[in-house]
Amino acid sequence: MNVLDKIVSRKIEEVAEAKQKISVAELALSESFSLKPLVFKDFLLDENRTGIIAEFKRRSPSKGLINGVVTVEEVTQAYSMAGASALSVLTDKDFFGGEPIDLLKARAVNQIPILRKDFIIDEYQILEAKSWGADIILLIASILTPMQIADFGKLAQSLGLNVLLEVHDLAELERSVCPHLNAIGVNNRNLGDFTVNIQTSFDLADKIPNDFLKISESAIDNPTVIKELRAVGYNGFLIGENFMKTPNPGSAIKEFVSQL
């Protein structure tokens, strides 16, 4: 089993446990469930913002502990102040050290869109995301069938959520594109062995239909790369470890943005 298989296997157990604890009816009663999600596109294309989707991530399977000291409130607020267009908050506990409360805390102190970054394999998780105050959900093509992607995307959009589809290669892109998406992200990290290659984004740039926002994810470690990605049509840039691996992620993004 590679890491992704292990994550999905554990996720199936997790979702079953969550359903036992909190019913769908209870999720729908949460305060956040009635909030109108922010429109991802409005913030991503806002000229006063950077296109950066800045991530709060404590650890990862490939790097181990990245940052266990900073708080989600201080980091996400600093990201927003520095001009991030959206936030990405990990809610996977076992592999990334995330918690649902992280998303709730980020929502309470920010007015820009928030992505629930997790491995969605069940409609229940989409309802969870809505109940925790997320604006965007992530669908990973390599762990879902084309029918699941269409069904999950349709459900999410019916709730007002924005849908980001993540692909790793042309085959995933071609089989997964459907009308129920808002953005397509190219992950430059291979989730099987966690190697990264920014070239993946350049190779797929003109293969993504222009109906969707184009996002490049992972391996973006300097402002020059963003300028090059913009030139080939990308609107958004998901950056996680580059900021989180520093003692002060807020200062790191500020410095990064000053070079843009």
Q: Is 131 a catalytic residue?
A: no
Mean pLDDT, the chain, whole residue set: 96
The catalytic position among 105, 117, 130, 214 is 117
Whether 117 is catalytic is: yes
Catalytic residue chosen out of the listed positions 162, 182, 188, 218: 218
Bridging pattern class, strands 86-90 and 64-65: unpaired
The closest alpha carbon to 205, from 180, 237, 175, belongs to 237
Question: What is the per-residue pLDDT across 163-175, written as a single tens digit (0 to 9) for each?
Answer: 999 999 999 999 9
Residues 42-94 pLDDT 10s: 999 999 999 999 999 999 998 899 999 999 999 999 999 999 999 999 999 99
67 is catalytic: no
Per the confidence metrics, is the pTM higher than 0.85? yes
Q: Kindly name the residue from 80, 88, 176, 187 that is annotated as catalytic.
A: 187
12 token code pair: 């199936």
* Ordered structural domains, the chain, with CATH: 3-258 (3.20.20.70)
CA angle 33, 249, 140 (to 5 degrees): 50
Residue 218 annotated among the catalytic residues of the structure: yes
pLDDT of residue 42: 98
Active site residue 105: no
Residues 195-212: tens digit of each pLDDT? 899 999 999 999 999 999
Mean pLDDT of 231-246: 96
| 166 a catalytic residue | yes
Residue of 14, 128, 172, 217 marked active site: 217
Q: Select which of 14, 128, 166, 172 is catalytic.
A: 166
**What pLDDT is recorded for position 149?**
98
